[in-house]
A and B are shown apart, each in its own frame.
Chain A
């Protein structure tokens, strides 16, 4: 089967031709046949009506004797050229002879024209039509028979056929023409649609077809254009959405805004008259995005403060109502005043003159506004947007709402990341500064600040720290070189220059101080620094870079001074906030540094004081030793006196014996000599013994007062206790001859030697025994001779220790003082009679020096017993 491919045009043409041909055939055959039939029927009907009319007239004429009707009817018929004849047929009922059956007889009563012979039973033929109409009256019954010629019918039939042929031809030609035009009218837009659809399919969404006709093809074209426009709108929105989703940093928002305006422009919006306004409902400023111009291809961003103007109020009130779309009108004086404020008091003043002129030129502005949560998208023009464009604007606003939400999310994430980075940076700063210990560490400050400012992405090329010293009225300056190194530390008096004065004033007010310098001011400052000798030369200060053409100095206050950041332009609020955070962290860390520094100084002072105290304590101990030595002196002297007496006596006796021996030798009395020699030996032995004894006492005295390291030695505690008891007693007796005490020892003979520093234990015995004798002496003075003072020293071997007890029957220690007796410098003795260190030292010697115990039992008025427990 042949696969014939016909174009739409051909199909339409063929269809139309088929229809036209059928119609032509209809006109050629069916229509004339039909017409002839109708004609004939009508002709018959017309003749019949004539007959009926005449019959009615006849009936009336015969019944009511009104002949005008029949006259009128017959006149009407008679004047018709087609009439052949009209006859009045009389009908009679003829009964047979029997009167049982009848037949109807018809006779021609009258005929017009008279000369026509009419057969009452005549019928129609091709050439004439005969119609009869009956009538009945009391006078006569019959029929009116009319005969009309068909000549006109025949002639009309020919005319109809001729007309049909002609009409069919005309119809055919016209149909052909219409078919051609129709096919052309249909095929052209259809083909245009096909081509446009193909191009749309290839991605070209700028296609549209012209729809001149209002038929279905026109509607199809309109629908196609609408579909393409919808597609292009959706594609435009999708581009914005894609760009939005591809946005990974908040600073990419201008790119999306640029796409936004581009897409609006592609959709036929005059993008120059479009804008995006971002505004919080409680914010005092609004962000305005407008498309780029000839100078700036990227969209321009302005932050405009809210100002008092009726239009602003109208806009704000409307926005708070929460519509999705509205058209605001701004015209006349209201617009002029609005433009004036906009271009003179806001950043819109920096718009290009052509843009400003264009905006001001519109005297009657219709601002079509699609609202969104964070603001609105506006299109300004002389007329409001069409419904279609208003819908597009609202769709764009919805998509931008998503864009801005993503922007805010990114901003939030970045803020969090930045906050983390900031915290890490601040932690590093704190750590670094906390590690500073000395002044030599301070030059590390500026590189540190440099590094952290860089980390925090604060724009700068110089930084530093100014520490204000209110006591000295100076500013300690730590400045960086342009490459981040420390320029050194130098002091400036407050009144160094205007900058330093303002710096201090702002610091006192805790306010940020900013100053703008041009190149000359910078050079002047540098020269001033060189002149004052703070820096060597300009190369040191500037480094390799040339002097800045513009320098904005920012001084951010903190507790101890100002953090300085120098940049080519003013820092933003966010950047300044970071610098403030850095300054606060620096302040805390610097406070710690200062605290540490003060602590170090305090520590040094304490250590110095401790050394001095130790020296003092040592002196005191020595003094106490010497004091106790003084107390012993009398006893020692007494103790030494005895051996010395022996030595003297025996030496004197020996001298006498020597004289006697010389005499006996001279006599030759050898026996006597030998006996005297023997006595001499004994004497010498005794002298030696008592000499050693004296030597031992002196040695002990020296040991008592000796300073420095002392070694533990195996010591007989019984001997030591006995010795110090007597030394103490005699010492006191030397001072007071009336002093009489019954003292005794109860020494455990089985007491083993133990390893002690006997000098220290001797001092302990001395202190405790001295106190015991002092107590009984005092009580004796209070009670008189009735009181029998008694001091007993006893020793006792314990399982793994030895116990030494010194017991007196003095007044005892008051309960309220018992807790203080071991405190250094605590004494109940009169001034000058006690250092207050005796028991304190004794306690330390026993417990710390010998790991022993020093216990006291006392009863007020009855006496006191000190017990020393020393481990074996």
Chain B
């Protein structure tokens, strides 16, 4: 336990040093989706259900494909915090457990927004968490009527 604690402490220190700008401000997140099958708006609950892997298919039966920024990116950090209410590690463990047991199609993590948006744009049923996007091939999903959360 002591070791665990020391690890967490070291991680915390490193996280502070590396992401101090992100940590410094709270990023507005935009939920984006592939125009096909993904609804244009949803509530937070549904959003969380979708992104937590609890809901596996859209209404039209197309499987849901989750696209997230890596947890060590500011958007990823914000995503963990705002949507999952977890740390990055917890999120990883969360998804590991699901994927391990075959309960969820593994989400895809990206290093950059452009990669993420590109993935969402070309992958039917894909939903992702991004920032202010200008890509016209994707659609911005309103969460609780808001473009940003």
Contact = CB atoms under 8 A, between A and B. Distances in A.
**Same complex:** yes
Interface of A: 58, 61-62, 64-68, 70-71, 74-75, 78, 86, 88, 92-95, 99, 102, 109-112, 114, 138-140
B108 interface: yes
Interface string B105-144: 1111100000000000000000000000000000000000
Interface in B88-118: 89, 92-93, 95-97, 99-102, 105-109
Contact of B99 (A70, A93, A140): A70
A829 to B, nearest CB: 187
Nearest to B108: A68
B99 A74 contact: yes
A94 B4 CA distance: 9
20 contacts: A58-B96, A61-B92, A61-B95, A61-B99, A62-B93, A65-B71, A65-B92, A66-B109, A67-B95, A67-B99, A68-B108, A70-B99, A74-B100, A88-B96, A88-B97, A93-B3, A95-B1, A95-B2, A138-B11, A138-B89
Nearest to B76: A65
Contacts of A109: 97
Contacts of B4: 92
B108 to A, nearest CB: 7
B2 A67 contact: no
A70 B107 CA distance: 12
Contact of B106 (A70, A88, A112): A70
A62 B92 contact: yes
B70 interface: yes
A88 B102 contact: no
A58 B4 CA distance: 19
B106 A71 contact: yes
Given A92-B4, A93-B3, A68 B93 contact: no
Given A92-B4, A95-B1, A139 B93 contact: yes
Contacts of A93: 3
Given A67-B96, A71-B99, A94-B1, A139 B89 contact: yes
A469 B107 CA distance: 154
Interface string B23-66: 00000000000000000000000000000000000000000000
Contacts of A140: 93
A70 to B, nearest CB: 6
Contacts of B109: 64-67
Contacts of B70: 65
Contacts of B102: 74-75, 78, 112
A62 B93 CA distance: 7
Main secondary structure of the interface of A (DSSP, over half): mixed
B107 A67 contact: yes
Main secondary structure of the interface of B (DSSP, over half): helix
Contacts of B2: 95, 99
A705 to B, nearest CB: 195
A58 B97 CA distance: 10
Contacts of B11: 138
Contacts of B105: 71
Nearest to A112: B101
The 8 closest A-B pairs by CB, nearest first: A67-B106, A65-B109, A71-B106, A139-B89, A110-B100, A67-B99, A93-B3, A110-B97
Contacts of B106: 61, 67-68, 70-71
A88 B101 CA distance: 10
Nearest to A79: B102
Contacts of A70: 96, 99-100, 106
Nearest to A69: B106
A207 B86 CA distance: 103
Contacts of A67: 95-96, 99, 106-107, 109
B71 A114 contact: no
A144 B20 CA distance: 36
A489 B95 CA distance: 158
A112 B2 CA distance: 30
Which of B3, B7, B11, B92 counts the most chain A CB atoms within 10 A? B92
B77 to A, nearest CB: 13
Which of A65, A92, A109, A111 counts the most chain B CB atoms within 10 A? A65
A75 B107 CA distance: 15
Nearest to A99: B2
Nearest to B14: A138
Nearest to A96: B2
B50 to A, nearest CB: 17
A65 B91 CA distance: 10
Given A65-B71, A110-B101, 7 more contacts: A61-B106, A66-B109, A71-B106, A88-B100, A92-B3, A112-B100, A139-B93
Contacts of B92: 61-62, 65, 139
B134 to A, nearest CB: 26
Nearest to B11: A138
A86 B97 CA distance: 12
Interface string B1-25: 1111001000100000000000000
Contacts of B99: 61, 67, 70-71, 74
Which of B2, B4, B96, B105 counts the most chain A CB atoms within 10 A? B96
A110 B101 CA distance: 7
B119 to A, nearest CB: 13
B36 to A, nearest CB: 22
Contacts of A110: 96-97, 100-101
A114 B103 CA distance: 11
Nearest to B96: A61
A387 to B, nearest CB: 80
Contact of A62 (B1, B96, B101, B108): B96
B69 to A, nearest CB: 10
B60 to A, nearest CB: 24
B81 to A, nearest CB: 16
